[in-house]
Amino acid sequence: MSIFFTIFFNSVYAQTPEDQITLSGDLQNNPVAQDILKKIEQSKKWIAQIEQRNFENSKRQLELEQKRAEVLQSLEDDLRKWEELWSYYTFDNVLERALENSPAKDTSSIYDHPLKFTASKIDAGREALQKIILEGGSPEQARDAFTKAAKITRAEMLSVNALYNVLNNNAYYNQQVLFESDGKFNYELSGEELRKYYQDFRTNPEYLDANPFDVTSWEDLSKTNPSTECRPGHVLVYRNHADDYVCTTEYTAEMWMRHNMGKIVDSSYEEPNPVITEQKFNKDRILQKVSNLNSKIESMQAHYEEQLLEIIKKYDSLLADIKSDKYVEERRILENPLKSNYDSKKIMSQQIMDIREKFNDLEKNTLVEKDEVLKILENQHILSVEEFIDIYKSDDEIAIEWNYSYPIFYSPAYNFPQSESSSIIKTSFDDDLFGLVVDDTSLKNAFGKKIHSLKLGQLIQIASDITNHDDTSKKFVYLVEIRDEQNQIVQPLKWITGQLDSNQTLNLGLSWIPKNTGNFYADVFLGPNLDFVSHTETILISVVSPDQLS
């Protein structure tokens, strides 16, 4: 056994002949020793093969890295050549060439050239991508952020296209806001507003350009002078072609100014703000839609009330005729010469009773018929209103609120938020309300029309024109508190906060729904903040019962 261990621990792994292990003596015939020797020799061969493979792999890896570096450099060279070749067609260079001789090159607006808006979206995408990369996001997250920020939706394309046409004098702003967000025109809803531009064909610029010698068109309208005061809703315009002055609607004045056919000479007229953005356009479009919807509801309500009055007058006339006929027949019986004896008087009394019973039944039937007709009319009106509302229930740009017996459309996104409290301290100060001026405080119904009295349960607004006459923008708070004839507060202070730019005017209103009839007083307050508010005006509110039509 000692010989066996000596051989095991003195194994040699060299490949030279002199280092090989040999067996001598009895070990040559020992199968165990021979097996160990074979395994040792085999291990040496394996080790040598592994070392050779490692050497070859190492050499191949070096060659592969060299090839990879060469290919990468070649690809970079090809990419640089490709970029140089196609740089002419990159978006940045296309934009630069497109704006080279364009008036939009030096403007800040992104809407006066189609590619400027696209560039703004690409820049937004690049910023979003860079932000994700800096925050350690994955390539997929960076790509998704770019796509989300740079994509242009169909609604955006429609809005931007409308603004481009307006800024390039291809369309009228007040007409473009009449279109829906999907680009369609709702003639039933907005047709009336559009027709205001073309109510008189003689004032249409296209007609006047095509008929420059139409004396009637010029002379019939030119009956004013530079000092003429136009009626509300109209402005005084100097017409270049005719060298005269004329009062026209603001819509016609807008068309003439756009076609360089005239200019406004009425100092009270304020031209629309030329700074327009997609956000402002969408706001004006939605608010115009709300206004048109409420005007439609108002027209339906007015038509219903006209029919109501007509039916009431008709049946009042019928009842008056019944009473008149009844009186005539009674007089005929009473004037009968055969009324001296007792029997004649008895007969006459019976005849009068019969007449009265007949006409009472007729009057009763007429009243029942009147109520039924009024009920039918009311149901038809309610059905018409509900069918109209159903069309816009799924419109996510507007919301509907019921006011007494008819709906009011409004925009949740652009309504001034109202707040309420009874703990505001009302003070007075002598600083011209910090440059803020309150004017034309009045009552308005839900459609924005001025009223002098209202029905119980009817929504109203206490509205005022707030103007900032300062040279800088000013924050404001507009408050209203309502009390009854006993000086008890029935509506705690409600207020609206906001900001006015220099020389900007806003018409603001705070709502109230009366719960009782009688006279009430609305106290109006204004200030730069809730710590400084001052009383500006008190107006009377007369509330009548619902059955009294205003």
**pLDDT tens figures, 110-162:** 888 889 999 999 999 999 999 999 999 999 999 999 999 999 999 899 999 98
Give strand pairing partners of 74. none
The answer, yes or no, to whether residue 373 has pLDDT greater than 70, is yes
> Is there a contact between 450 and 442 (Cβ–Cβ < 8 Å)?
yes
- Euclidean distance between the first and final Cα of the chain, in Å? 130
d(CA 353, CA 363): 15
pLDDT at residue 133 in the model: 92
* Domain at 416-544: CATH architecture: Sandwich (2.60)
Q: Tell me the C-alpha distance between 547 and 404, whole Å.
A: 12
H and E: helices and strands count for the chain: 13, 15
Q: Which two tokens stand for residue 496?
A: 């609206």
Binned at pLDDT 50, 70 and 90, residue 399 comes out as: confident
Query: What pLDDT, on the 0 to 100 scale, is given for residue 129?
Result: 93
Can you tell me the distance from the alpha carbon of 522 to that of 305, in angstroms, rounded to the nearest whole number?
Answer: 28
Q: Is 264 helix (H, G, I), strand (E, B) or coil?
A: strand
The reported pLDDT for the residue numbered 2 is 41
* Confidence band of 418 (pLDDT split at 50, 70, 90): low
Model pLDDT for residues 64-104, shown as the tens digit of each residue: 888 888 888 988 988 888 888 888 888 888 888 888 888 88
- What residues pair up with 409 in beta bridges, in sequence order? 400
pLDDT band at 1 (very low <50, low <70, confident <90, very high): very low
* Residue 474, helix vs strand vs coil: strand
The residue with greater pLDDT, 451 or 343, is 451
The token pair at 257 is 């100014």
pLDDT band at 26 (very low <50, low <70, confident <90, very high): low
* Distance (Å, whole) CA 433 – CA 431: 5
Place of tokens 């070859």: 56
For 254-311, the pLDDT digits (tens) are 777 777 777 888 655 555 555 778 888 888 888 888 888 888 888 888 888 889 889 9
Q: Kindly report, residue by residue over 167-181, the tens digit of the pLDDT.
A: 887 888 888 888 888
In terms of average pLDDT, the best of 258-262, 450-454, 490-494, 529-533 is: 490-494
- 347: its two tokens: 């007969």
Nearest to 248 by CA among 413, 256, 240: 256
Name the residue with higher pLDDT: 452 or 363: 363
Q: How high is the pLDDT of residue 149? A: 93
18-48 burial, b if ≥16 CB within 10 A, otherwise e?
A: eeeeeeeeeeeebeebeebbeebeeebeeee
Which two structure tokens, joined as six digits, stand for 37? 């020797």
Give mean pLDDT, residues 362-368: 91
Quote the CA–CA distance of 270 and 504 in Å, as a whole number: 11
Report residue 372's pLDDT band, with 50, 70 and 90 as the boundaries. very high
Categorize the per-residue pLDDT at 10 as very low, low, confident or very high, splitting at 50, 70 and 90.
Answer: very low
Phi and psi at residue 429, to the nearest 5°: -150, 155
pLDDT-based confidence at residue 206 (cuts at 50, 70, 90): low
pLDDT, residue 425, reads 47
The residues spanned by each domain of the chain are 2-71, 92-152, 291-397, 416-544
- Mean pLDDT of the 180-187 span: 88
pLDDT exceeds 60 at position 433: no
C-alpha to C-alpha distances, 40 to 25, 48, 211, nearest whole angstrom = 20, 13, 117
pLDDT at 52: 75
Structure tokens at 210: 């095509």
Does 477 have pLDDT greater than 70?
Answer: yes
For residues 367 and 171, which has the higher predicted lDDT (pLDDT)?
367
pLDDT of residue 144: 94
CA distances from 461 to 29, 92, 414 (A): 122, 52, 17
Q: For residue 493, give the H/E element and its range.
A: strand 489-500
| pLDDT confidence tier of residue 63, bands split at 50, 70 and 90 | confident
Would you state the pLDDT for residue 429? 45
What pLDDT score was predicted for residue 136? Answer: 92
**pLDDT at residue 40, as a whole number:** 78
Q: What is the pLDDT of residue 338?
A: 56
With beta carbons less than 8 A apart as the criterion, state whether 524 and 438 touch.
yes
Distance of CA 204 to the CA centre of its chain: 30
- Cα distances (angstroms) measured from residue 346 to each of 138, 326, 332, 339, 349: 111, 19, 16, 9, 5
Mean pLDDT of the chain: 79
Residue 18 has pLDDT above 50, yes or no: no
Identify the residue with better confidence: 333 or 406.
Answer: 333
Paired with 403 in beta bridges are 406
* Contact by Cβ (8 Å): 429, 532: yes
Read off the tokens for 61: 């890896």
What is the rounded distance in angstroms from the CA atom of residue 317 to the CA atom of residue 322? 9
Rounded to whole angstroms, the Cα distance separating 180 from 388 reads 17
pLDDT band at 231 (very low <50, low <70, confident <90, very high): confident
Cα 170-172-174 angle, rounded to 5 deg: 160
Phi and psi based region of residue 274 (left: phi greater than 0; alpha: psi -120 to 50; beta: remaining): alpha
Rounded average pLDDT over 441-451: 77
Beta strand 532-544 with 453-455: parallel, antiparallel or unpaired?
A: parallel
**Alpha-carbon gap, residue 465 to 484, rounded angstroms:** 25
Contact 209, 239 (CB under 8 A): no
Helix (H, G, I), strand (E, B) or coil at 248: strand
Q: Encoding tokens for residue 212?
A: 């420059």
The better pLDDT of the pair 268, 244 is held by: 244
